[in-house]
Chains A and B, each alone.
Chain A
Amino acid sequence: MVTRNKDLQKTTESLLKKKDSQAPSKKPVSVPGDNPVIYPLDLPESDARLQTPAVGARATRPDGRLHGLGQTKYIDDMSFPHMIHAKILRSEYAHAKIISIDTSAAEAIPGVLATLVGDEIPVNTFGPTFQDQPVLADTIVRHKGDGVAAVAAVNEQIAADALEKIKVVYEPLEAVFDPQEALKDSAPKIHGDKTNIYTSKIIKKGDVEKGLAESDHIFQRQYSTQMVEHVPIEPHASIALWDGNGRVSVWSSLGRITLGREDLSRTLSLPQSKIRLIGTIVGGNFGGKNEITNEPILALLSKKTGRPVKCVFTRGDEFISSTIRHPFVMDYTTGVNNDGKIIARKIKLILDGGAYCSWTGTTIGKGSILAAGPYNIDNLFVESYAVYTNKTTTGAMRGFGAPQVCFAYESQMDEIAEKLGIDPLELRLKNAFTEGSASPTSQQLQSVVLKESLKQASDRFGWKEWKK
């Protein structure tokens, strides 16, 4: 991509010019402490926030000013007296048995207050669909992002140094990284000993084989997508405090605290009434912060040390140990008549499910239901399989499989349009859902404005007039 240096320069110049005219009308106010307030305290409100009716108003956000001034407190900005810091040791192997973990040398380092391994966790499993994931791996590591031990120390540097002193003896196991390889009988099994397929979905409507046989044209193509990270500006972060009354408070970047508390209650074997989970202001989620990660570990380290314990993932932790988007391999076969009417569509989706299930159930569900596109197709067959691999756990990410299948169905729409000599807009309008259309699951759809969006976007873009 081209960096538009000229544009940047222009913007900077115009900002510099405006500087004087935009100076605050009142003298900046400061208060003592490490967080000087640098703006006038009597806040002007936008009219949109003051108007009735409230719905439809372009109301500014109540948290916007602090964000703009860099004054918002994220977990990394929060501190408690006597707070200590935790770090988590990640696996050396993508697939291995853990023979032993020796933390004694780490514990001997001055400044290290506690360590934690998986078998100290009361219930060492979690997962939003099914509980196939250890909080800290204690018998088998299934990808290189698995945590195997944690250290709490007076500062992050000592905690990081201590990780290097932990001795883990592994017995490496054969690993599999490609989902199509993982489907084979000969592939090593990642959970159990039967198959690496851990969830599947079928959507069936009409008679796809008959529909394909009766179509004037058949289009066939395989599409595939990559693994991507959510890359929130704020990585996963939490602070846990196990207090003298036996109650644990956790401040977390988690996006769903009700279920987070259920997971904490389960993993810690502690009644929900003894757990307080506070969702802090989050610096980006995009689906990546929808399950617990380090929270039970920090709670137990706090219980061991009597101190508040904080852990902020490094960018590396964020990439390798938090969830990412599922790569899809998508086979599309579509039967179309000469006039552009889609008669039948047959789809097979293989999802790289990573080492643990996480939100794969939702991803395969939405991916399969949406796979045929927003089109009236009477004959449809979608089969989808999610497969374990010894790679980073794939989970929830903005769109749950929809960006992947949209890439496939919309690419194929353009291939069909070109071959039949129909404008891509017209081909879509011809097949598009309308009010009352039946979805692939035969649900009658309401408030459908697909054609309106196609026409409005084309008008706005100037689709018909556009010239190269």
Chain B
Amino acid sequence: MIKRGKGMACMWYPIGFTVAANASAATVKVNTDGTATVLTGTVETGQGALTVLGQIAAQTLGIATDDVHVVSADTDSTPMDTGAIASRTTYVTGNAIVLAAEKAREILFEAAAPLLNVRPEQLEAVDKKIRVLSFPDRFLPIDKVVAHAENTLGKPSIGSASYNPPTVEMDPETGQGKPFNAYVYATQIADVEVDDETGEVEVKKITAVHDCGTPINPMLVEGQIQGGISMGVGFALQEEILFKDGTQINPNLTNYIMPTSLDMPELEVELVDNYDPTGPFGAKGAGEPTAVPTAAAIMNAIYDAVGVRITNLPATAEKVLAAIQEKNKAVA
């Protein structure tokens, strides 16, 4: 018989390295037509990081995402970066890019201030304009300002900066300290069906509500969550490297079973409104935490459906069936 169950799991997860320095540096160059180039040593690993970093540079300069080209991942031309690890790219590299873009922007403010008859600190960069604060009718187009700064004043608009999250060493005896500068939070809820005659578990739906601070690009955050859930479903139900005397016996995609798109449940993905003052425009991160609570939620849903608690992952059909049979024996 097919039995249904629901189960929830929440989690917390840190952004960046545990105490250890994990700096990022960045260079931002504004071109004379108002477009810009960002140099970063991070690597695009498929998550869309370069899009997000471009958006962060664009926001700081008051231009559009498409106006920014991001050059990455070449030790001959890009500055140091700790890399695409520890859910740190948006937060750490993003903060470095904000600081670098602010330096490039400052050159534009200084060039535009005399032309607009104000002080540099009275200016803002929005809508492709260098504009007087609280006086939106007085502005210069950003491209004109860049060209003036570079070609007339001889001051190209370039900025470089770095960022490293502040932490406090952990006490070796008690572990007390401040290992990270930011954490994110999330809840996932699973709706499952368990066949109590075969032990087979089908995840029908997962509702996932995640915090990433400000979502720089909500679409890419949703993509991360969807991908993380698929990894969580595999961890919960299918994936396992099996050994015999130190030899992996299933090192191939025939016998190492992982979820395909057809195994994916219906997904409801939402973000929690939040703003972290230490992140770029309030952003924290979204990469790893998306895969964290899925298995726990599914196990709790299996228990709700058939009353067996799986304490050893993955919950394969064989394992779930054995637990159901043991429970039935105990009842009888």
Contacts and interface: CB of A to CB of B under 8 A. Distances in A.
B217 A52 contact: no
A3 B43 CA distance: 35
A422 interface: no
B215 interface: yes
Interface string B8-49: 111111100111000000000000000000000101111010
Interface stretch (B79-87, B104-112, B132-140, B322-330): B79-87
Interface stretch (A17-25, A102-110, A202-210, A298-306): A202-210
B20 to A, nearest CB: 8
Contacts of A453: 10, 185-187, 209-211, 272
Interface stretch (B53-61, B113-121, B150-158): B53-61
A255 B293 contact: no
Nearest to A384: B175
Interface string B207-223: 11111011111111000
Contacts of B54: 54, 59, 62
A256 B83 contact: yes
Contact of A50 (B10, B66, B252): B66
Contact of B259 (A1, A276, A402, A403): A1
Contacts of B210: 453
Contact of A410 (B82, B85, B297, B311): B297
Contact of B246 (A177, A204, A224, A456): A177
Interface residues of A, number: 126
Interface in B173-224: 173-180, 182-183, 185-189, 191, 200-203, 205, 207-211, 213-220
A45 B211 contact: no
Contact of A228 (B207, B235, B246, B305): B235
Interface string A430-457: 0011000001111101111110111011
A449 B185 contact: yes
Contact of B176 (A205, A280, A285, A463): A205
Given A202-B173, A441-B175, A454-B10, A447 B248 contact: no
Contacts of B284: 447
A257 B73 contact: yes
A468 B304 CA distance: 9
B114 to A, nearest CB: 25
Contacts of B305: 468
A93 B201 CA distance: 37
B253 A315 contact: yes
Contacts of A213: none
Contact of B268 (A370, A373, A461): A461
Contact of A449 (B211, B238, B313): B211
A152 interface: no
A374 to B, nearest CB: 4
Q: Which among A53, A373, A407 has the greatest number of chain B C-beta atoms within 10 A?
A: A407
Contacts of A468: 3-5, 305
A458 B215 CA distance: 21
Which of B9, B56, B234, B312 has its CB near the most chain A CB atoms (within 10 A)?
Answer: B9
A460 B303 contact: no
A228 B80 contact: no
Interface stretch (A27-35, A77-85, A113-121, A391-399): A391-399
Contacts of A159: none
B180 to A, nearest CB: 8
A30 B201 CA distance: 48
Given A410-B10, A461-B268, A456 B209 contact: yes
Contact of B18 (A275, A365, A425, A458): A365
B62 interface: yes
B311 A56 contact: no
B59 A257 contact: no
Contact of A441 (B10, B178, B243, B300): B178
Given A223-B312, A224-B312, A398-B228, A458 B8 contact: yes
A259 B276 CA distance: 29
Given A52-B128, A447-B284, A453-B185, A460 B8 contact: no
A445 B216 contact: no
Interface stretch (A162-170, A238-246, A316-324, A338-346): A316-324
A10 interface: no
B147 interface: no
Contacts of A369: 14, 18, 175, 179
Contacts of A275: 75
Contact of A255 (B85, B127, B203): B85
A104 to B, nearest CB: 28
Q: Which of A204, A275, A370, A410 has the most CB of B within 10 A?
A: A410
Interface string A290-334: 100000000000000000000000011001100011000000000
B88 to A, nearest CB: 10
A48 B73 CA distance: 26
A65 B219 CA distance: 16
A366 to B, nearest CB: 6
A49 B72 contact: no
B313 A428 contact: no
Given A63-B44, A316-B251, A226 B241 contact: yes
A416 to B, nearest CB: 12
Contacts of A325: 235
B50 interface: yes
B293 A410 contact: yes
Nearest to B253: A315
B270 to A, nearest CB: 6
A411 B308 CA distance: 12
Given A406-B292, A453-B210, A461-B189, A315 B46 contact: no
A144 B311 contact: no
A183 interface: no
A52 B62 contact: yes
Nearest to B218: A58
B253 A51 contact: no
B159 interface: no
A109 to B, nearest CB: 26
B10 A450 contact: yes
B75 A277 contact: yes
Given A144-B248, A224-B311, A428 B13 contact: no
B295 interface: yes
Interface in A418-434: 424-425, 428, 432-433
Contact of B175 (A3, A59, A259, A440): A440
Interface string A194-218: 0000000111110000000000000
18 contacts: A1-B200, A1-B203, A56-B214, A59-B66, A63-B50, A228-B239, A255-B83, A258-B81, A279-B73, A319-B241, A319-B251, A362-B86, A365-B19, A370-B11, A410-B296, A432-B10, A452-B274, A454-B187
Given A2-B200, A272-B75, A282-B44, 5 more contacts: A261-B75, A279-B73, A285-B43, A287-B85, A406-B295
